[in-house]
Amino acid sequence: MRSDAKKNYDMILAVARDLLTGGSPDASLRDIARKAGVGDGTLHRHFPTREALLEALLRDTFDALSARARRLQEETNAEEALLTWLREAVGSTKDYSGVIAAMVSAIADEQSALHGSCVTLRSAGNRLLVRAQTDGRARADMDGDDLFALISALAWLAEQPPLVPRSDRLFDIIADAILPGRGPR
């Protein structure tokens, strides 16, 4: 990529990250282009759709969560690994305002630009869940899709101002459902 194109690419991502982590989930691609100081055509050459932009924003986060899952699997007991990773996945996901609906749609749509990153996240969580199930710690009747849905639901709840004070309690309720009989908190 030419240096000026790379500069534009990086600026678009920085502006999009600022807007989406700053609570502006409805920012349009045009808004992002203007704030980045580029034209609509430049933005669309790099990111033809909103999903493509979201994928570029979330790829590093989801890759990091996948690497974190591998480390936790090696270093921590199954229950603690799953809970730690789940809390981190919810926290990372909720940081991006308005991305939950796109994630939920993308996981089922193989044509979505965001699909691959969502599959990476789901797979990482599934590995930890299977380990906890194998150890007899997690309920056996759920899978990675269920865990992905719970991450999405908990992240959405944490975005709702009236529910923010309850988000930790709701996380614990869900964690108790996933890991019946888990240890003291």
Q: Where are the domains of the chain?
A: 1-48, 50-178
In one-letter notation, the amino acid at residue 117 is: S
Q: What is the pLDDT of residue 20?
A: 83
1-48: which CATH number, 1.10.287, 1.10.10, 2.60.120, 1.20.120? 1.10.10
Q: What is the pLDDT of residue 71?
A: 97
Long-range (24+ apart) CB contacts under 8 A made by 59-62 are 59/117, 61/92, 62/117, 62/118, 62/120, 62/121, 62/124
This prediction's pTM = 0.86
Q: What is the pLDDT of residue 176?
A: 95
Q: What is the pLDDT of residue 183?
A: 62
Q: What is the pLDDT of residue 27?
A: 81
Mean pLDDT of the chain: 91
Q: What is the dihedral of CA 129, 51, 56, 53, to 10 degrees?
A: -150
CATH number at 50-178: 1.10.357.10
Question: What residue ranges of the chain have pLDDT lower than 70?
Answer: 1, 23, 25, 97, 183-185
